[in-house]
Structure 1
């Protein structure tokens, strides 16, 4: 068991580090990277701990290590989701000039959030007092129940959308002609967003420059304006190719020099406009590059007989020598034939996995009947620890991917952005908070798809003993999973 931890935990840490390096934008503070990385690590550890927990429960092994890791991961994600990350997010989004003022702004922004959470906690405390004789979980148990139930009831909608959208999307993208049409639409839409972002950044720069010009050197707010001027100068020096164009002043754009708070608003507006512009620019360039590569692939396949089955790229010259010619042929076969068929095969496999999950979700309630494919497989190989953990790991990973895929799709339309090398600290914190929020409910949902022997109880079920059992809400689970696919897809299409 410890060998499993020694292998899986470093791999999890490596995945977190690589993901952060891929998505994190420039100038992200180290404490934000640490908070996001730690949150992702604790959330991903659930995927590792659940299969190990199932095997330990079935084999009767010592579970001291699993219990420690469960408590550590669960309470870390709980505290990060509801306390630490919201404050950090508000702190990063604030435009104030001192740490104290930024912290005050963050607490003020999160006040409504904490008022709502506090109201729910107060209601739960009153309910707990009234029903104390029938509730053994206590206050902590009730908090866990509220958190997990919220995650279950909203997570199944996200899971339903991902279960249908991921296999369908992979199958559709395997058709290169269809993918080319989709990319043409995305490039056009990204170009419009880039124009709007360029206009907003130009306006923010013009406002900052005009405010600086009208402010005298003896103005009490001049030191704050100097900080904004320095930030603006650094921004223009970092990207000399950017030229503000069409910037114009609005009716209230010259009112930023009234007090320190208005100067903080100006700084925040300039910083957000800059982040939005470079995010849109990165998305536009990624779509354009993908569209050009796809066009090269289609042309190379169309003229394969004339070129001797070689891949011709518009981004690089033809590889020299016999080895280069061989590599060009291999690349053509991979891009035009093998990758296309692998996508279709992956879509079929994931579609079957989706059907198995839907069947398992639909038959949680009936006792004595086990239609869960994963439960049947785990019980069939219960004497082999490696197979038990592999069979448990694959569907749980797929459920997490489906849920987070839907979460990122919907969130990108409203709350945050996830762009390679251009994701802001605020977006990273928002994303890690959502990932941590849904990790325990997904794990709890999956555990209820597995029919373990009567004498086998997982550590995670003991930790969440105060949570109402899945069977009391399983009448709604399958409906939510199936209905969530239609509802969220309709919402997503309307935004598109």
Structure 2
């Protein structure tokens, strides 16, 4: 590669850039193929999502080329990949403005279009525009305030309007990028270091199992409720439902409900026909279609996550068990496994050495290296405004200094690309971990269309702010000469407010870093009862007692029952349809295991032990609405007093206190012999001891009552 760049002609660099873009295109296609079935996915989804991923990847490649083109070395042997100024300007304009349009207009509209639920394209477009209208009104309202500020500062002109649009888009993207990147800079090294210990990794998987299984169970029950609703709707052949008969039949085909399907075993308080409105409207059917599509993808998502957790737990347990025999064998690969998973090269002993010795140390080394890189990024963010000359990233990229001017060679380009990739990877990983995105998720080969648009939009939204934020780590003598600065940077720094925001706001990266490092998310959630739903690994790892809801002991029992259970893949595939792609296998515990003597206590939320006795989400909501006077939640002090009372009521007397009566005997002058004493202590408090004639109360009167 260095030999290609030795010529002063830009042709070798152009050829190298084209080859790199071609390789990036192949990588993007492989990513799309991993999450989406390319043959059945419509073109209106594939093309925008492809460019939403390809353009940020090209920006990661374009930033180092821009740095080397405007700060190149005089030594031809160390000169990097560079392009002429005109080619750079055209490339940046295409990349930036296409990314801008995709982020703010095309992807949001297409996302709501795919999630509309209507049949006709016109109705779906109108629904998408109405759904995005509120968001656009909010954005334009903020833009009007900024437009007034720009016009007062620089007068009404096209430059002011253009600078306002670019500055607001950059600031909003930077806010989201800094928060997500701060979380990922801690989460990535910590996950690698913790994963080095096989036992801790298995314990963490067992801690996640109960919560994930409960979510999967809720998703299955929610889908069942919607299918029952569609089944009842299909039975209505008169009235307003007759006008939408084709639509209703499409919903029935989507559910694939057979006529001989048995009714749900869940007892329902009222008739199923009451869940259908009296007048069936187009809006109702669109909402039902939307809910049904989301429920099907939610089911596929949790089943896929659950199967992945089972496979990971099974492999981790096999690694632990191989410590005695020094041989590791994972068994036969699943039919849905990839080609590399089915490929067998290593022997059991070499596989044991790889997984038990090499990979743990490599994970520790890589985690420590990335932790050091995270410290360098955080340090550069903190001192960027005050002491820019102490930035560590600056010295790793610029290797050739001539006085105050720096030069970027090929090695600096490679290091710069790696820095940007790590920053983007930290932000994008946080998007998949922070579960506040309306249930959106990436599922292998079955990602929902709306989720694919949304995640692609986030990739496009975060790439430009993070790339320019990285450029500002370097010396102003270098990055102010780049084409990237003339495209975006000069408009961000057009006003003192934007300049200070660009320099001071990245300091707030400490907030997500400290929150993730010390587990503040779980503490905030426990304190206020709400919070960002981030998987708090600190809280799960510190639950060493193994008791309580979602403990690792319950997860261990659940995983063992699932791995030795009975597969119901036939039932799952029948619900997806004969021509549809088979869904991941879902297993349930076998009945023989639970009936054996000495079996562990069954998991509380496992459907194999209560046979779906818990009501569904719709049934619970109907029961709640049917109650005349709903029970109010107790406050903190009432709940605390109830817990104290229940604890005291259930305390059994210690044995030494129960045996105390046998050791204390009444004297003979009270007339209590050993037999009476023994019978009294044996009968307990339920049976009173018989009264004798020598009772001391008879000294005051005949019948044991005190008389005056």
- CA deviation digits over 1:409-434, x for unaligned, max 9? 22466452122223211111111111
- 2:176 matched to 1:151? no
Q: TM-score, normalised by structure 2?
A: 0.63
Structure 1 residue aligned with 2:140, among 118, 126, 132?
118
Q: Match for residue 468 of structure 1?
A: 493
Aligned equivalents of 1:242 and 1:392: distance in 2?
Answer: 62
Asked whether the equivalents of residues 361 and 477 of structure 1 are also in contact (C-alpha less than 8 Å), the reply is no
- 2:389 matched to 1:370? yes
- 2:283 matched to 1:264? no
Higher relative contact order (CA 8 A, sep 6+): 1
Q: Match for residue 348 of structure 2?
A: 328
Structure 1 residue aligned with 2:34, among 18, 22, 40?
22
> How has the CA–CA distance of structure 1 residues 288 and 122 changed in structure 2, closer, same or farther, with 3 Å as cutoff?
same
Q: Match for residue 50 of structure 2?
A: 37
> How has the CA–CA distance of structure 1 residues 166 and 316 changed in structure 2, closer, same or farther, with 3 Å as cutoff?
closer
Shift of 1:385: 3.2
Q: Match for residue 630 of structure 2?
A: none
Aligned equivalents of 2:261 and 2:232: distance in 1?
Answer: 22
Map 1:260-339 to 2 at 5 A.
260-304=282-326, 310-315=327-332, 327-339=347-359
Structure 1 residue aligned with 2:462, among 402, 423, 438?
438
Map 1:335-484 to 2 at 5 A.
335-366=355-386, 370-381=389-400, 385-411=409-435, 414-451=438-475, 453=477, 457-464=481-488, 465-468=490-493, 472-473=500-501, 476-484=504-512
Shift of 1:374: 2.4
> How has the CA–CA distance of structure 1 residues 241 and 362 changed in structure 2, closer, same or farther, with 3 Å as cutoff?
farther
Structure 2, unmatched stretches of 5+, are 1-12, 74-82, 335-342, 401-405, 526-532, 536-708
> How has the CA–CA distance of structure 1 residues 358 and 103 changed in structure 2, closer, same or farther, with 3 Å as cutoff?
same
Structure with the largest fraction of helix: 1
Report how many aligned residue pairs link the two structures.
482
Q: Match for residue 78 of structure 1?
A: 100
Shift of 1:490: 3.3
RMSD over aligned CA atoms reads 3.0
Aligned equivalents of 2:345 and 2:64: distance in 1?
Answer: 47
Aligned equivalents of 2:149 and 2:48: distance in 1?
Answer: 34
The structure that has the greater radius of gyration is 2
Shift of 1:153: 2.6
Aligned equivalents of 1:256 and 1:44: distance in 2?
Answer: 52
- CA deviation digits over 1:256-290, x for unaligned, max 9? 74211111112222222111111111111111111
Q: Match for residue 17 of structure 2?
A: 5
SS at match of 1:313: coil
Aligned equivalents of 1:389 and 1:444: distance in 2?
Answer: 15
Asked whether the equivalents of residues 203 and 246 of structure 1 are also in contact (C-alpha less than 8 Å), the reply is no
Shifted more, 7-16 versus 247-256: the winner is: 247-256
Shift of 1:19: 1.2
> How has the CA–CA distance of structure 1 residues 395 and 256 changed in structure 2, closer, same or farther, with 3 Å as cutoff?
farther
SS at match of 2:256: helix
Shift of 1:196: 0.5
Structure 1, unmatched stretches of 5+, are 305-309, 318-322
Aligned equivalents of 2:297 and 2:345: distance in 1?
Answer: 43
Aligned equivalents of 1:272 and 1:256: distance in 2?
Answer: 25
SS at match of 1:45: helix
Asked whether the equivalents of residues 67 and 482 of structure 2 are also in contact (C-alpha less than 8 Å), the reply is yes
Q: Match for residue 213 of structure 1?
A: 235
Aligned equivalents of 2:42 and 2:441: distance in 1?
Answer: 18
- CA deviation digits over 1:129-183, x for unaligned, max 9? 3223498842111100001112223321211111111101110111111110111
Map 1:126-145 to 2 at 5 A.
126-133=148-155, 137-145=159-167
Map 1:479-494 to 2 at 5 A.
479-487=507-515, 490-491=520-521, 494=525
Aligned equivalents of 2:390 and 2:353: distance in 1?
Answer: 41
